Amino acid sequence: MNKKPSFFERLSGSASANDPFDSFEDETPASSSTARKESRPAPLEDDAPGSEGQLPIDVHQTANEIIIRAFVAGVRPDELNISISRDRVELEGSRMEREQVSGPDYFTRELFWGSFSRAVMLPQEVDVEGSSANAKDGLLTIILPKLDKAKQTKLRVKSG
């Protein structure tokens, strides 16, 4: 059974070692003819209906924040859903193809169109209310302030 490459594999061009698309066994022997043949690559098959891509992300931290970045070029802000809890972030959205082109008219088709999602477990708890998200030039940046568990507050007892 041929497994389709994941969104990340299609985006980065990586493939697993036992990927049938990377096999050299099916190649035809080189022709002894010196004439150069023009060939047109076979169009990629369309994504299966209901298939969902996984959004590649970068996650790093500073002393006070956890920062998540993802490329969301071609996605309008109203097409993005970001859910944040204290220890988890979920990103969902969709990238719709603006222009319809028939399969045989493609020479190369590498862009991912359709819905995507990504769930990220955070290394420590964050302040949900203080979190912010910004999209600029196709790059989504989510800033999650870390909760300071060592911070202590003194309470005054009111008499009353």
Q: What is the structure's pLDDT at 157?
A: 86
User: Could you report the per-residue pLDDT of 58-77, keeping only the tens digit for each?
Assistant: 999 999 999 999 999 888 88
Q: CA-CA distance, 91 to 74, in Å (whole number)?
A: 15
- Closest to 67 in 3D by CA, of 57, 76, 75, 77: 57
Could you give all domains of the chain from N- to C-terminal order, each with its CATH number? 57-96+112-147 (2.60.40.790)
Q: CA-CA distance, 158 to 6, in Å (whole number)?
A: 60
User: Could you report the per-residue pLDDT of 89-107, keeping only the tens digit for each?
Assistant: 999 998 877 777 777 877 7
Round the average pLDDT of the chain to a whole number and report it.
Answer: 76
